[in-house]
Amino acid sequence: MLLEGEARIPSGCAISGIFSKTGEAIPGDVIVRSIATMHDRSNGLGGGFAGYGIYPEYRELYAFHVFYDTVDAQHAAEARLLQDFDVESSGTLPTRPIAAIRDAPSLMRYFAAPKPQTLLDSKLDEREFVVRFVTRVNREIGGAYVFSCGKNMGVFKAVGYPEDVGEFYRLEEYEGYAWTAHGRYPTNTPGWWGGAHPFSILDYSVVHNGEISSYDANRRFIEMYGYNCSLLTDTEVITYIIDFLVRRKASKKMVDSRMMLMAAGAESEVPIHSMYDKVFNSYFGTISYSFADRYYVDLAARRDGSSLFAKNNQWANFYSLGAMWDMRKENFLQNVSWLNSLQLKVSYGTTGNSGISAYNALALVGSGLLYNGQPGIAPSTVGNDNLTWESMKTLNVGISTRVFDRFSVELEFYNRQTDDMLMGYPLSYTTGHGSSVENVASRMTIGLSMVV
């Protein structure tokens, strides 16, 4: 994908908006028809909609709309979501296949509220808690993009003309008291799903007509305040700036600096800035051997190192050994005409998991807190000098065959033993912490699978 500054896409922008003064519900196909009249001002590289009042049955919950590029990204993001939120409902965003919308990522929707105790432990207000969660997912989980997270509202966008995007998301099935729409693609980048207008954070969503030429300057500015711009689009930057000015700054009772009354002055601002770094190194080798075109052996070994663990536990060794016997090629089966293939396979190996956030092994203090109305710092992580790799030992024994050039069967027995599982371990709240990351559990999975 070409990035900002590497290509220029000439075209105009199409924008549309509609709202009901009385709060009456407006069907989604109304906004789709309005933006379709400006088809010639779009170039098919991005279209999107924001609807307000569309989830009345979940009006008190945050509606997260998320793109996923990979299954691993989905698993990681959902684990983070379940850690911090009570999820009342989840599922795929309803869509219909149309020829004009291609290469769609996985599209998921979750209705959730922060876990009360987790929110209390964070010492944040609810809206700031949600913003930090979205920022953390978009920054730390590659291939996961939370692009909508407000209450009783949602964003729908894709690469394509807006009228096609509306049909793809079945917007005629929604009703809301306000809608916005956009056609084309923002800034100078080629179109991609995450970058199309609009982008939203909480209840704020932005569409704009024209190009924000100072994208990099605005991005650098807003990222100084803890935001993370991962979608490579100016609409994301503008939305964060609006959130910063309207929610975070305006809520501090900002007044004219010429007023001398101390009681009327601004409240203390909470300083927020975050950055992290992590390193993963790996050395590995493999050996493969075959004999007589029927006996096969593979050996693999690796040594992995991760900065996520305690200093003395950052390196671990893993290995695997596999063998396969192609029995069909043995002389005693050569005359069995109905047997096309017969293979016996066995393998044993170990793997490691380092799926935790940075710095859990260290005892740290963090900012972003108020004590008695004043900025402060407090312990943020407990630290764990013994934190190490989660390991899995797996034994597989299987047989596969094909007979009569028609039927195939694969039968496999597996035994998986997971040790030193990385999990959040509950702590007494008298410690000042709700939990810490520990190697606390083991799990064994034994099964038999058959594929016909």
Contact 142, 25 (CB under 8 A): no
Amino acid letter, 392: M
> Which parts of 13-62 fold into alpha helices (H)?
28-36
The identity of residue 364, as a single letter, is L
Q: Which residue has the tokens 């997260």?
A: 64
Pick from 81, 78, 84: nearest CA to 121: 84
Q: Is 229 a catalytic residue?
A: no
Contact 373, 383 (CB under 8 A): no
Alpha-carbon separation of residue 275 from 139, 226, 228 (angstroms): 10, 8, 10
CA 334, distance to chain mean position in Å, is: 53
Neighbour tally for 352: CB within 10 Å:
16
Amino acid (1-letter code) at residue 383: G
Per annotation, catalytic residue among 3, 5, 11, 13: 13
Q: Please name which of 328, 319, 329, 327 lies closest in space to residue 298, comparing C-alpha atoms.
A: 319
Tell me the C-alpha distance between 269 and 247, whole Å: 12
Number of other residues whose CB lies within 10 A of the CB of residue 397 = 14
Q: Are 158 and 50 in contact (CB under 8 A)?
A: no
Known catalytic residues? Answer: 13
